Every structure is written in structure tokens, then in C-alpha cells.
Amino acid sequence: MANSLGRGFIKNFLGTAPDWYKLTILAFLVLNPVVLFVFGPVVTGWLLVFEFIFTLAMALKCYPLLPGGLLAIEAVLLGMTSTATVFHELELGFEVILLLIFMVAGIYFLKDLLLFTFTKILLRIRNKTALALMFSFMGALMSAFLDALTVTAVVIAVSVGFYSVYHRAASGKGAGGGHGDDGHGGIDLDDDGIPDLHRADLEQFRAFLRSLVMHAAVGTALGGVMTLVGEPQNLLIGTRANWSFVEFFLRMAPVTLPVFLIGILTCIFLEKTGMFGYGAKLPDAVRKILEDFDRTETAKRTTQDKAALVAQGVIAVWLVIGLLFHLAAVGIIGLSVIVLATSFSGVNDEHRIGRAFTEALPFTALLGVFFVIVGVINDQHLFTPVIKQVIDLDPSVQATAFYLANGILSAISDNVFVATVYINQAKDALLAGAITRDQFDVLAVAINTGTNIPSVATPNGQAAFLFLLTSALAPLIRLSYGRMVLMALPYTIMMTLTGLLAVIYLLNPVTDMLYEKQMISHHSVKEILDVPTETAKQH
């Protein structure tokens, strides 16, 4: 009895994950207390960071909430961080949590409009390079004024819709239905129902969607770095420096505009060469199925369906206006979208409404686990030695060092956290008289671009990338952690190097020119004395 019960516990542990993976996680849990006792909390802290990255890398083997959550619980029990710190980190990320809960669900109720619109675009633009450019450019444009997670949610919803239409048709279930209700477009993760005749087309279609999704994801980083509202850390940095929307854009422009240009050229290069997993075209058989689906949907669309599409279009306009002018927190706007879209689309059943939340809530829980790891980084001061060395450098190379240090740390940790730590350190140095206000302004640009641009290297730095990796779409199109890193690699290299060269050679000269033309103004130290640092908030 005891042996059978023990075997049951072993089988239940992490579910269907491979045995080697289960043993690895158990080894981590046993190793951490030993390392803490022998080497101390700093070494253990870095070990925890890399263990958590491992769970993200193996997301297709086991959803990282489970193993990552076990590591997080152990970190708190070992005293590597506290529940108070975790709660504080959750408070700081409350807007992001609201966004995930309500905005992603709101996008779900606009799925018919999105699938209708993007089906038309996909079928009319036959040139793959032009289509890739459109996805990248639209991702950048929307992220500059909206929010990268919202834009990513749109891309995921559209892609799952496309995939569902083809998979249903290829497996003989019919193309109708668009998005399914089970979180995966109503389809299985395996291809058992797909005849051999369609398997090659299915793999090519997966590659096609992977490339478009990655172009769009990188586009969110290209646009998000440019404006005050593009990323959460942008607003934090702009507030610390007391910059307006226009001034923020102009100060970032010497770095962000060359990076944007190189990002677009990289998109073209990848599609033309087919390197790093790009270049796959839409198979003719898939195009025909999508065209048939479009004609069928158009023919059977009732007056009530058309009214729902019109209503969703009006609500989408409200969504853009609300986000563009920041009429409320993003999550609150998402809640209003849920209320309006369900009210005017005929959805009044609790169970149908509940399905909209199944996509984002697991990731919301995972984000909570991620904040525990951030708490470990914070409480154990893992980044402090790097920060201190950079602050002590000669002023002529500080901006370059800040850019590189932020980039490296943002590739393995949350870029919002890294930006918060660095901008607070820079502000403290300014108030202590260690740097001038002009130096502070240049360092703020280096911090913002450093946390936004190189962080596309891995899903750890960009919340939008992590959301994509752990979404229902990722297993459907076989987008693993390793494949995402590989596909992001050419963008990471080109964008990071371009940003570095711009910081070295363009930042100061262009800033001086903007001063001379009075397009931006010299600020005083007094202007930021009343802006509290996160450190001050904690105490």
C-alpha cells in the first residue's frame, strides 16, 4: 500500500513532465539549502535566478508556474526574501496584474473583429516580406502609444484564430468556429488527426506564424522604447527626470531612431535570407482554406453578427482612445471593454464570460512567482556590485557602461526592476553631487534604452515575450524558449550594437544640438527633489 501510494505521489509530481526534468527540479530544491549553508545568500541568490530561467526554458515540458513556484516558496522559507517584500513587488506591479486579468480578457471578446480584419490583410498581402514588415511596424506603432502586453495579446488572439481555422479543416472537423473555447482554439496539441497529406503544410504554416509573431514581438520593443508611455519603466524614468512626452521622445531619438531603422532592415534581411527560422511563406493549401473560411463566414454572417462586428469596432476605437490618452489604468480600460463587448455582442452567460480569463490567469500567477525572484534579487542586492562599479567610472564612459550593464541584467531579469534600481541609483548620485544634472539626463537615456533594447534577447527581460512564451499559442506553433531566443538573436545583436554605437557617438552631440535649438531645456536638480525614489517608498 505504502509503495503504491509513493508511486502515485511520484507520478503526480509535476504531472506528465519527463522523469529527468522531475529529478532536476528535486535536485534544485535539495541543492539550494546546501549552497546557502556553504556559500551564503549571494551565491544562492544567483543560483535561484538561473534555476528559474531553466524552468522558463523548459516551459513546453512543464508550465513554469509549478517548478518556479516551488523554487519561490523555498526561497521565502530559506529567508532569501520575505513575504513583505513579495507583497511590495506585487503592489508595484499591480497595474500589470490588472492589465493581464482584464485587458487580455477584453481582447478575447474582440476576437471576431480581429480575426475578420487580419484575415483580410493576410489574404490580400501576398508578399511575405511586406507582411512581416507590416506586423513589425504595427507592433512598434501600437506599442509606442498603447502597451506591449496588449499588442501581444492581439497578436496571440489573431494567430490562434488562424491556426484554429486551418487545423480544424486539415483534421476534417471543418474550418468554422475560429477561436475555440478551450484556450487552444478548440484543437489538440498533437497532430494525430492530421492526415499525412497535410502535415508538411501544417509545419510550414507553423513556421509562417512563428516568424510573423516574432517580428511583431520585436516590433513592440522597437516602438515601446521611444515614448514616455511605451513601457512601464519609461514612465518611471521620465517621471524621475521630469520630462514631458515630447521631450522624452526627443531625448531618446538619437538612440531609438537608428535602432528602429536597423530593426526594420533586419526584418527585411531575415525574410529575404530565411535565416534563424524566418522566411517561411503561407502554403497555397492553407491560403485556400483561409479564403474558403473567409467566403463561408461572409456568406453566413447574419444581421446580428454584423451588428456585433460594428459594436466591436466602436469598442476597439474606445480602447485605442482610452489607452492613447491614458484616461484610466490599462486594466480598468480592459474591464470597460469586457463590459461593453459582452453587453453589445449578446454574451450574457457566466460560463462563456469565464472562458475569456483562462488565457491570462496562469500567466498572472506566474508573474507573482517572478516577483518572488525579483524580491530575492532585491533583498540580496545581487546587482549592487555592478551598479557601484558603473557609478564609480569616469563620466566620459558612464553612459556606455550604464547601457551595457542595464542590457546584460535586463536579459536575465525583469527590465522594469533593473530600470528602477539604476534610475534610483543615478538620482541618488545626482542629489549627492557625484554627477551633474546634464550627466543625469544622459544616464537616464542610457538606462531606458539599455533596459528596453538588449532585453529582447530572452523572455526574462520582456514581459511581452514571456507572455507569448507561456500563452496557448506557443505550443501550437512549437515556439519554445530556445527557439524564441534563437529567432530573437539576430535582432538582439543588431539592435544592441546599434544602440551602443548611438550612445557612444550620437547621444551627446544630438543632445547638445537640441539644447542649442531650445527643443529641450536644461533642468535643475530642484525639479526632481520632490520625486520619491522606490527606496524611499519602501522605508
Tell me if 467 is assigned to some domain: no
Residue 502 has pLDDT above 90, yes or no: yes
- Gap between the Cα atoms of 84 and 76, Å rounded: 10
Model confidence pLDDT, tens digit, residues 318-352: 988 887 777 887 789 889 999 999 999 888 888 88
Residue 372 has pLDDT above 50, yes or no: yes
Q: DSSP labels for 400-425?
A: HHHHHHHHHHHHHS-HHHHHHHHHHH
Q: Which long-range contacts (CB under 8 A, 24 or more apart) does 241-249 make?
A: 241/440, 241/441, 241/444, 241/523, 241/528, 242/523, 242/527, 242/528, 242/531, 247/520, 247/521
* pLDDT value for 533: 47
Cell of 462: 520582456
- Gap between the Cα atoms of 456 and 491, Å rounded: 8
Q: DSSP labels for 421-461?
A: HHHHHHHHHHHTTSS-HHHHHHHHHHHHHHHHSGGGGSTTT
Tell me if 289 is assigned to some domain: no
Using a cut of 0.85, tell me whether the model's pTM lies above it: no
* pLDDT value for 30: 96
Tell me if 74 is assigned to some domain: yes
- Angle, to 10 degrees, between the axis of helix 232-241 and the axis of helix 437-452? 180
- Higher pLDDT pick, 174 / 145: 145
* pLDDT value for 383: 76
Residue 538: count of CB within 10 angstroms of its CB:
11
The enclosing H or E element of 6 equals helix 2-12
Tell me if 40 is assigned to some domain: yes
The whole domain housing 41 covers 1-81
Distances (CA, A) of 317 to 172, 224, 320, 323, 337: 37, 20, 5, 10, 11
Helices (H), 40-127: 41-57, 65-77, 83-92, 94-98, 104-108, 111-124
Q: Which amino acid is at 470?
A: T
* pLDDT value for 421: 75
Evaluated on CA atoms 388, 389, 392, 397, the torsion sign reads negative
Model confidence pLDDT, tens digit, residues 246-271: 889 999 999 999 999 999 999 999 99
Tell me if 66 is assigned to some domain: yes
Do residues 372 and 77 touch, judged by C-beta distance below 8 A?
A: no
- Gap between the Cα atoms of 310 and 174, Å rounded: 26
* pLDDT value for 76: 96
Q: Average pLDDT, stretch 517-531?
A: 76
Tell me if 29 is assigned to some domain: yes
Tell me if 67 is assigned to some domain: yes
Do residues 184 and 472 touch, judged by C-beta distance below 8 A?
A: yes
According to DSSP, residue 282 is labeled P
Model confidence pLDDT, tens digit, residues 185-197: 445 555 555 665 5
Residue 539 has pLDDT above 50, yes or no: no
Helices (H), 126-147: 128-145
| Residues with Cβ within 8 Å of residue 164, at least 6 apart in sequence | 177, 178, 179, 180, 184, 185, 186, 187
| Residues with Cβ within 8 Å of residue 38, at least 6 apart in sequence | none
Maximum alpha-carbon separation in the chain: 83
Tell me if 6 is assigned to some domain: yes
* Torsion, CA 213, CA 252, CA 93, CA 412, rounded to 10: 60
Residue 508 has pLDDT above 50, yes or no: yes
Model confidence pLDDT, tens digit, residues 401-427: 999 988 988 887 767 767 877 887 788
Give residue 198's pLDDT band: very low, low, confident or very high (50, 70, 90). low
Count of domains for the chain: 1
Model confidence pLDDT, tens digit, residues 111-135: 888 778 888 888 888 899 999 999 9
| Residues with Cβ within 8 Å of residue 138, at least 6 apart in sequence | 216, 219
Model confidence pLDDT, tens digit, residues 224-253: 899 887 777 887 788 788 888 888 999 999
Look over the chain and give the mean of its residue pLDDT values, rounded to a whole number: 84
